[in-house]
């Protein structure tokens, strides 16, 4: 049978979309370039909001994930401060009567849990199949595939969650290079983390420590040359530099492992829909990790698209009206997420002295006004609509 929807990419976002369609009568085929059982990316820690947890719970994935040792770590408090200026605030889950503000999740463990859920669902997943071009007409999507059984697959809708949007012709993308890299590493401290995360804005850029299993995941933003220097330091000197960077906010670092870097850029599709085609997840927007928003936006893309497809009569799946409905429903959350993250990097990641005062004021107001703090925390947890 011709599929109604072909999903390109069974990463966390594509798999979440597929699972959202599992109990409907929509015919779905999922393609993924990776071999069965492999993970596409190196291990990384994903920052998940409470809203993202609810999406994964509804897909029956969260329980399986949370049972695995160290696959999920709750963030109960976040200490936010700036170097060289006044102002700090602390966001607490207890203020919201929630078990956590967010979670740090292992990419590999999440991918394995999603793969297992897809296998249980009976949805057709074709591993080792790469989409080389996604196009089509106003009547159908056409996906050229390479790999096992190279062919052209047609469907009412191509949903592209390949992490880059590279295969899609006709979706214009925009890129802003921050001229910075993120140095990531695992860090151990004398004291257990007790669910407390740290985010500090410094003239070099933001630096964060996220609780993860028995250690912290470090994300240290710096210029490429500074990151090179930091990579070259021996462990003791690196930990001393980290302690200096965090000033009086935290200390007692005793061990570091797995230092590596990746380039930071904002990349987004100007429009997420084209004829019979939609891009979602990182294929639609790849954000700076400063606010931990990117992956959560992607999961909300998947949840919303699944709902709209299920609510659309079969003959209309993938038509221009359905795609316009999807684009409209995601517009505010998507642009707010992009603008919020980019604004945070521009204002809090800048070393312009005249910005220190407004930054301190913003943090002080956030700390002093419980209503503002609650609204800010809610936006970080559930997105902006
Ligand atoms: C270098 C780097 C580091 C990151 N670090 C962090 C971090 O520390 N914390 C955080 O929260 N987020 C991080 N992110 C972002 C996070 O990885 C993404 O938000 C998340 O992976 C998006 O999920 P996705 O499903 O959209 O894409 P992906 O995870 O990229 O999955 C894409 C899937 O599509 C498949 N695929 C790709 N091309 C094709 C094709 N042509 N045909 C068929 N299948 C294809 C791949 O095999 C893969 O399974 C990082 C991103 C990058 C690039």
Residue 299: what pLDDT? Answer: 95
Residue 146 scores a pLDDT above 80: yes
Residue from 109, 160, 193 nearest 5 by CA: 160
Residue with CA closest to ligand 1 atom 30: 163
In angstroms, how far is CA 76 from the centroid of its own chain?
19
Locate all alpha helices (DSSP H) within 185-253, ordered by sequence.
Answer: 224-232, 235-246
Nearest-atom number in ligand 1 for the CA of 44 is: 8
Residue 262 scores a pLDDT above 60: yes
Vertex 229 angle, CA 225 and 230, to 5° = 115
Q: Which helix (H) or strand (E) holds 303?
A: helix 294-311
Could you report the per-residue pLDDT of 175-225, keeping only the tens digit for each? Answer: 888 888 989 999 999 999 999 999 888 888 888 899 999 999 998 989 999
Interatomic CA distance for residues 349 and 56, integer angstroms? 32
Q: Could you tell which of 207, 295, 297 is best to mutate to test the pocket of ligand 1, judged by most ligand atoms within 8 Å of the CB?
A: 295
Across the range 85-98, mean pLDDT stands at 76
Could you report the per-residue pLDDT of 10-49, keeping only the tens digit for each? Answer: 999 999 999 999 999 999 999 999 988 887 666 778 888 8
Residue 385 scores a pLDDT above 50: no
- Give Dmax over CA atoms of the chain in angstroms: 63
Residue 354: what pLDDT? Answer: 47
Q: 277: which strand partners? A: 158, 274
Across the range 92-101, mean pLDDT stands at 82
Residue 39: what pLDDT? Answer: 76
Of 69-78, 258-267, 359-368, the one with minimum mean pLDDT is 359-368
pTM (two decimals): 0.88
Q: How many CB atoms lie within 10 A of CB 8?
A: 29
Residue 337: what pLDDT? Answer: 81
Q: Binning pLDDT at 50, 70 and 90, where does residue 293 land?
A: confident
Rounded to the nearest angstrom, the distance between the alpha carbon of 266 and the centre of ligand 1 is 14
Residue 374: what pLDDT? Answer: 59
Instruction: Tally the C-alpha atoms within 13 A of residue 1's C-alpha that lie toward its C-beta.
Output: 9
Which residues in 213-344 belong to E strands, given as ranges?
215-222, 253-269, 273-274, 277-279, 285-286
Which two tokens mark 381? 């947890």
Residue 234 scores a pLDDT above 80: yes
Residue 85 scores a pLDDT above 70: no
Burial of residue 232 (number of CB atoms within 10 Å: 0-12, 13-18, 19+): exposed
Residue 384: what pLDDT? Answer: 45
Packing angle, helices 320-348 and 294-311, rounded to 10: 170
Q: What proportion of the chain, given as a percentage, has pLDDT over 70?
A: 85
Rounded to the nearest angstrom, the distance between the alpha carbon of 234 and the centre of ligand 1 is 31
Residue 240 scores a pLDDT above 50: yes
Q: Could you tell which of 11, 135, 207 is best to mutate to test the pocket of ligand 1, judged by most ligand atoms within 8 Å of the CB?
A: 11
Residue 355: what pLDDT? Answer: 47
Using DSSP bridges, classify how beta strands 129-136 and 141-147 pair: parallel, antiparallel or unpaired: antiparallel
Q: What residue ranges line ligand 1, CB within 6 angstroms?
A: 8-14, 31-34, 40-41, 44-47, 130-131, 161-163, 167, 262, 281-283, 289, 292, 294-295, 298
Phi, psi of 122 (to 5 degrees): 80, 0
């Amino acid at each position: 049978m011709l599929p109604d929807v072909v999903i390109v990419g069974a990463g966390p976002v594509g798999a979440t979309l597929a699972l959202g369609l599992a109990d409907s009568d929509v015919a779905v085929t999922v393609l993924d370039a990776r071999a069965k059982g492999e993970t596409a990316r190196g291990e990384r820690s994903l920052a998940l909001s409470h809203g993202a947890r609810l999406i994964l719970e509804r897909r029956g994935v969260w329980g399986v994930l949370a049972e695995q040792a160290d696959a999920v770590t709750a963030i109960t408090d976040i200490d936010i401060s700036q170097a060289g200026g006044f102002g700090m605030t602390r966001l607490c889950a207890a203020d919201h009567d929630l078990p956590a503000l967010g979670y740090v999740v292992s990419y590999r463990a999440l991918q394995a849990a999603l793969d297992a859920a897809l296998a249980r669902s009976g949805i057709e997943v074709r591993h080792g199949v790469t989409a080389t071009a996604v196009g089509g007409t106003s009547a159908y999507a056409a996906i050229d595939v390479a790999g096992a059984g190279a062919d052209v697959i047609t469907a009412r809708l191509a949903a592209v969650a390949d992490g880059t949007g590279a295969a899609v012709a006709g979706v214009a993308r925009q890129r802003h290079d921050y001229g910075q890299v993120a140095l990531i590493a695992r860090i151990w401290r004398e004291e257990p983390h007790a669910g407390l995360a740290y985010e500090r804005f410094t003239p070099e850029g933001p630096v964060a420590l996220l609780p993860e299993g028995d250690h912290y995941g470090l994300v240290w933003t710096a210029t490429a040359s500074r990151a090179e220097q930091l990579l070259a330091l021996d462990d003791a000197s690196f930990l001393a530099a980290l302690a200096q960077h965090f000033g009086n906010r935290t200390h007692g670092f005793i061990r570091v492992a797995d230092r590596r870097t990746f380039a930071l850029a904002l990349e987004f599709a100007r429009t997420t829909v084209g004829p019979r085609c939609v891009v979602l997840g990182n294929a639609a927007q790849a954000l700076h990790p400063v606010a931990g928003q990117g992956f959560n936006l992607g999961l909300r893309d998947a949840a919303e698209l699944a709902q709209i497809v299920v609510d659309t009569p079969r003959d209309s799946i993938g038509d221009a009206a359905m795609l316009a409905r999807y684009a409209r429903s995601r517009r505010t959350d998507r642009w707010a997420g992009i603008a919020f993250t980019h604004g945070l990097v521009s204002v809090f990641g800048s070393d312009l002295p005249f910005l220190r005062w407004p930054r301190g004021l913003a943090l002080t107001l956030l700390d002093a006004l419980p209503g503002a703090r609650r609204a800010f925390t809610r936006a970080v947890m559930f997105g902006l609509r």
